[in-house]
Structure 1
Amino acid sequence: MKNYEINNIVSHKIYQGENFEKTKIKIMQRIKEKKLDTTTEQELILLLEKMYSTEMGRFMIEHSGFNGYWTEYVCSYPDLKKQGFKLTENEFEKYLLENLPFYLATQSRFQIFKTEIKKRLCDNISIASLPCGLMTDILLQDFKGINNFQLHGIDLDQSALDQAKAIALSKGLIHHCTFTREDGWKIEHKNQFDLVTSNGFNIYVDDEDKNIAFYKKIYQALTDKGELITSTIVPPPTEDPYSSWELKKINLDALKIQAIVMNYFTEFNKNNFKSAEKLCIILKKAGFNKFQVIPDNLGIFPTIIAKK
């Protein structure tokens, strides 16, 4: 069966009939085409083998990104570790989860999202998440004492919706929830949600007009005093001399691994990086006019709260 991408999912590619070895061979060919010195080439191939030794690494390389499950896996790792869970026996995967700058930054961002959502919980609130992934930043909140609330998960990835629904069921929230498979650019919700959360969309889209169109849809879906909680990945210092990355807090060996993975092993587009200021400009063009920027602990993955 011929491989093909399904629909319009931007966070990761979905293939049918994909062979891990085929992707691995393609990457090794790409490395050799760079005509690097022997030592560097061998270093890249060794790292590729290490990435393929982990299920998380294989998925990221195979799909050039994460789906809802793996995003949740990375984001929840610190919380689950504190609770005594051992998520992986693979030491390299553990190293990535505890040192890779993007992973640490999104773990910090995840905590910020949860905190900001918690602040806004009240009776009769209607919350949407787009793309929702597993939606644990919302579904794991304490809704005790909150009455008549509605939670809406929107995603194109049916597997993410199914997993989010299972979590809602396990938490006794299913009767407050709606899960729909929709394209973010085609939603037609009007004046419906008091709060919308959106992480992991704009970081895969480099076209400004498409980003504006997406946030316009969210703007239209919000009530008059509605708020959006979203985020962006800031360009690194190699791309922007005014970058907010706090290099003193970053493991430089892990940073090197991250750069290799992004440049050689995936199809990540550097144009997808956006400073908080750039994203606020995009949001303003979409209709929003009040902004709050909350940095993560590494200055890489800030949270932006936008109001109508």
Structure 2
Amino acid sequence: MSLIALSTECLATAPGRIAHGTDHEETDAALLARVRARLQAAGDVPGATVRQMLSLADALASFDLGRFLLRHRSLNANWTHRLVTYQPGSLAAGSVEGLEYQMFEKLPAVLATRERFGTFRGQLQALMKPGATAASVPCGLMGDLLLLDYSGLPGVCLIGVEPDRDALDKARALAETRGLADRLSLQNKDAWALNLRASVDVLASHGPSLSEPDDARVTELYCAYRDALRPGGTLVTGFLTPPPALSAASPWNMEAIDLKALSLQTLLFAKIIDAKPQAFRTHTQTRELLQHAGFTNIRFIDDRARMFPTVVARRSSSNRPSTLSGR
């Protein structure tokens, strides 16, 4: 899963989540030395000196989330889950490294992603009916579905599709904690390889399109989602909007964004972490892709900053066969 793009220059994160293994031989000290050498070689940047960037790199290396981002340049399913389920105010200012506090409490991209997660859960809860089948693709730890309230909803079946085996193991553990293991089915595969064949009433998708710049590939993905849904079924997904620095059509609501935190975010992810690139689309572009894939009744739910909108769309009641997904 991916956190939203975290910079206005190099723009990145994970909700095109990457499966992160543990086969790295480089020590934390060696990694930090390499990052520091890169920053020193690059020199000062607008708004920050090398000395300031080295200080931030050292701060990142002092806590778990920072070290993970320095090493992988994006988030995995576990860290995404921790960020979106974090309760604001849980970390008292001064109780942890200052930068860690700011990353959990202040960064605009983190706030937008957390707000989007809440919007997803609200939409999904309203869509749940007794006997329904719901899928999360890619599911990560599957908090979008597993954290819902299923009291009074007998017979609901939950499907998680995810290429990262570690994430699937954690999703299974969360399901057991929530008393939902008997409702859960997990599949270890890529989102583009879905083969659910009109068996799903509600499908939630958090990640793949966020890191895919090719519109044809995204349309293919939406076709796979459409084919997984029963006629009349509902897709709940999201997309990243372009920042003002990249597009005059940016819908960002700058009045809702802490500019100091945004500057820190840009510096951290574009310059120090060197985060992996993400794909940005406007509301209009997203609507066109969904319509091309056969979705109707498309509606958008913006987060306050309009960085990471939620989109809800319905599969047409007709059984029109896929023309773009190759099936």
Provide TM-score, normalisation by structure 2.
Answer: 0.84
Q: Is the 8 A contact 2:241 2:282 kept in 1?
A: yes
Q: Is the 8 A contact 1:184 1:214 kept in 2?
A: yes
Q: Is the 8 A contact 2:136 2:144 kept in 1?
A: no
Instruction: Give the whole-Å Cα distance in 1 for the aligned partners of 2:241 and 2:20.
Output: 26
2:69 aligned to which of 60, 65, 81: 60
Please tell me the residue identity of whatever aligns with 2:220: A
Instruction: Give the whole-Å Cα distance in 1 for the aligned partners of 2:177 and 2:241.
Output: 36
Q: How does 1:188-203 map to 2 (within 5 A)?
A: 188-203=195-210
Please tell me the residue identity of whatever aligns with 2:121: K
Once the two structures are superposed, what CA deviation does each residue of 1:198-245 show, in whole Å capped at 9, x if it has no partner?
112221222222212222111110000111100011111111223222
Counterpart of 1:103 in 2: which secondary structure? helix
Specify the alignment match of 1:32 in structure 2.
40
Q: Give the number of the structure with larger relative contact order, counting CA–CA contacts within 8 Å between residues 6 or more apart.
A: 2
Specify the alignment match of 2:87 in structure 1.
78
Equivalenced residue count is: 296
Please tell me the residue identity of whatever aligns with 1:48: A
**1:92 CA drift (Å):** 2.0
Once the two structures are superposed, what CA deviation does each residue of 1:115-153 show, in whole Å capped at 9, x if it has no partner?
001111111110000010111121111111111110001
**1:106 CA drift (Å):** 0.6
Change (3 A) 1:217 1:231: same
Change (3 A) 1:126 1:37: closer
Q: How does 1:99-248 map to 2 (within 5 A)?
A: 99-248=106-255
Change (3 A) 1:49 1:147: same
Please tell me the residue identity of whatever aligns with 2:18: H
Change (3 A) 1:115 1:274: same
**1:104 CA drift (Å):** 0.3
Q: Quick check: 1:256 aligned with 2:263?
A: yes
Once the two structures are superposed, what CA deviation does each residue of 1:246-269 show, in whole Å capped at 9, x if it has no partner?
222222221112112232223422
Instruction: Give the whole-Å Cα distance in 1 for the aligned partners of 2:190 and 2:125.
Output: 27
Counterpart of 1:14 in 2: which secondary structure? coil
Change (3 A) 1:275 1:30: farther
Instruction: Give the whole-Å Cα distance in 1 for the aligned partners of 2:79 and 2:283.
Output: 25
Q: Is the 8 A contact 1:206 1:269 kept in 2?
A: no
Counterpart of 2:191 in 1: which secondary structure? coil
Instruction: Give the whole-Å Cα distance in 2 for the aligned partners of 1:246 and 1:118.
Output: 27
Instruction: Give the whole-Å Cα distance in 2 for the aligned partners of 1:209 and 1:253.
Output: 37
Instruction: Give the whole-Å Cα distance in 2 for the aligned partners of 1:286 and 1:26.
Output: 44
Q: Is the 8 A contact 2:19 2:164 kept in 1?
A: no
Provide TM-score, normalisation by structure 1.
Answer: 0.89
Q: Quick check: 1:11 aligned with 2:33?
A: no
Instruction: Give the whole-Å Cα distance in 2 for the aligned partners of 1:275 and 1:34.
Output: 33
Change (3 A) 1:300 1:37: closer
Q: Is the 8 A contact 2:16 2:210 kept in 1?
A: no
1:50 aligned to which of 33, 54, 59: 59
Specify the alignment match of 1:280 in structure 2.
287
Q: Is the 8 A contact 2:43 2:49 kept in 1?
A: no
**1:181 CA drift (Å):** 0.6
RMSD, aligned α-carbons:
2.3
Please tell me the residue identity of whatever aligns with 2:311: I
**1:295 CA drift (Å):** 0.3
Counterpart of 1:45 in 2: which secondary structure? helix
Q: Is the 8 A contact 2:108 2:257 kept in 1?
A: yes
Identity across aligned pairs (percent)?
Answer: 27
**1:79 CA drift (Å):** 6.5
Q: Is the 8 A contact 1:13 1:65 kept in 2?
A: no
Instruction: Give the whole-Å Cα distance in 2 for the aligned partners of 1:297 and 1:37.
Output: 30
Counterpart of 1:182 in 2: which secondary structure? coil
**1:182 CA drift (Å):** 0.7
Change (3 A) 1:79 1:200: farther
Change (3 A) 1:210 1:27: farther
Instruction: Give the whole-Å Cα distance in 1 for the aligned partners of 2:61 and 2:25.
Output: 15
**Greater helix fraction, Structure 1 or Structure 2:** 1
Once the two structures are superposed, what CA deviation does each residue of 1:38-61 show, in whole Å capped at 9, x if it has no partner?
961112111111122221122123
Counterpart of 2:139 in 1: which secondary structure? coil
1:268 aligned to which of 267, 272, 276: 276
Q: Is the 8 A contact 1:96 1:254 kept in 2?
A: no
Structure 1: tracts of 5 or more residues without a match: 1-8
**1:10 CA drift (Å):** 4.4
Q: Is the 8 A contact 1:13 1:64 kept in 2?
A: no
Counterpart of 2:193 in 1: which secondary structure? coil
Counterpart of 1:304 in 2: which secondary structure? strand
